[in-house]
Structure 1
């Protein structure tokens, strides 16, 4: 953990002050009689998960023995991955300015293709760690696919695609989110992505919900189809119910710490 001391030297551009954690936001959002759009549902989901606190926060966590930190203040952000190898500390840093890598304090020049791969990897972990925050970004397109029942609970089913401009290297990936109709919490998600053999798919089931500093975090059971040729992205929820998916891995965030940042 001593490597976090070195990390601090990279993030002094953010004037972070501790703020007492507010009461954990676990109340259920009351629905109205109006017909909810995909935007309405996502807005409510972000609200019960922490809302504006995400935009003024410092997050630290570990994922698969690698350290991550996310600093967000107003419209600025800095996403960091710290990998420790022997006596070296490798910093991958993604911000409004772009992506950079450092070996200890030395800047590392990378080929564009390698830099893009590292950038996508860093962004992916941070993206999933704070869902549904991020689903209102400018490059995100949302549409309501209707409702679906999973394990006797009713969910809004929302499809998400991305514009090429601002959508990142994997802008053509597609996502589906299942948001609980009563609590507005995101409890399942699925996505498709391009791979050498065609299109890959994953389905994730949230568990181990906890709040830190008023922000909601979950871990995921990560599934893949037993027979990908007979299953589409849209019916992965039904395939999960029918036991047609197999557990591939667990997505677990450890030692999650949150500090709220004063504007």
Structure 2
């Protein structure tokens, strides 16, 4: 009987500790989102340009609309991704998107908006967050938070894995890493820089690094970065950022 009570007590302590850790990671993410703009993400129209393409996002009460405008040989192509799905117009004329391209176009639009609006998306219903440790990068202390996605609601890339390094005092995402499976797979590590606040919302640019070994754990990338063991691939820079107060969406 005593052994049984001991086991019950032990399970209770483990369960309580797990709940406490999960509460803690939620508090960390909540504070990071609040620090980056909080509810302003849900009440603003955000516009920016990235690599010659124009982007706009609007969100309100669970509704969202993500847009991309590209100027090319065929004129202006306007893609809209919202709760109803994907639509495309060329020179203001609605065109049908073939089934084989819907996912590719949708992922391309969503991905740019996802990274541009971080940390906003970290409280989405399909996101699973776990505080896996702490680390030091260039003299600063960070929480290490691992993110995975449920298949239901997690999009076509639900199997991707992310790691975020959140500054323990400033509650900013200064570094992030992710492992993806499409196009043969890959691992990326991003270093945030050029942080600025536009009408209450914080934006950053990134140095984008590559890890050549696909079996490298994401949790090792911070030390590899410090030891110059990652290859710089590109810079992720947002230009012409505008944030407008929005009252109606979609």
Q: TM-score, normalised by structure 2?
A: 0.87
Inter-CA distance 111–140: structure 2 relative to 1 (3 Å threshold): same
State the secondary structure of the residue aligned to 2:111: helix
CA distance in 2, matches of 1:183, 1:102: 42
The aligned counterpart of 1:247 is 232
State the secondary structure of the residue aligned to 1:228: coil
The aligned counterpart of 2:180 is 193
State the secondary structure of the residue aligned to 1:243: coil
- For structure 1, the residue ranges without an aligned partner over 5 or more in a row are 1-33
The runs of 4+ residues in structure 1 deviating greater than 6 Å are: none
- Quote the offset at 1:111 in angstroms: 2.1
State the secondary structure of the residue aligned to 2:169: coil
C-alpha contact (below 8 Å) 1:147/1:156 kept by paired residues: yes
Over residues 33-69 of structure 1, what are the superposed CA-to-partner deviations in whole Å (9 max), with x where a residue is unaligned? x976211110000000000000000011000000001
- Quote the offset at 1:252 in angstroms: 0.2
Inter-CA distance 93–48: structure 2 relative to 1 (3 Å threshold): same
Is 1:51 matched with 2:38? yes
Is 1:218 matched with 2:204? yes
**Equivalences for residues 1-263 of structure 1 within 5 A:** 37-86=24-73, 88-197=75-184, 199-225=185-211, 227-228=212-213, 231-262=216-247
- For structure 2, the residue ranges without an aligned partner over 5 or more in a row are 1-19
CA distance in 1, matches of 2:39, 2:183: 39
Name the one with the larger helix percent.
Answer: 2
Higher Cα Rg: structure 1 or 2?
2
Q: How many residues align?
A: 228
- Quote the offset at 1:87 in angstroms: 6.0
C-alpha contact (below 8 Å) 1:176/1:190 kept by paired residues: yes
Q: Which structure ranks higher in relative contact order (CA pairs < 8 Å, sequence separation ≥ 6)?
A: 1
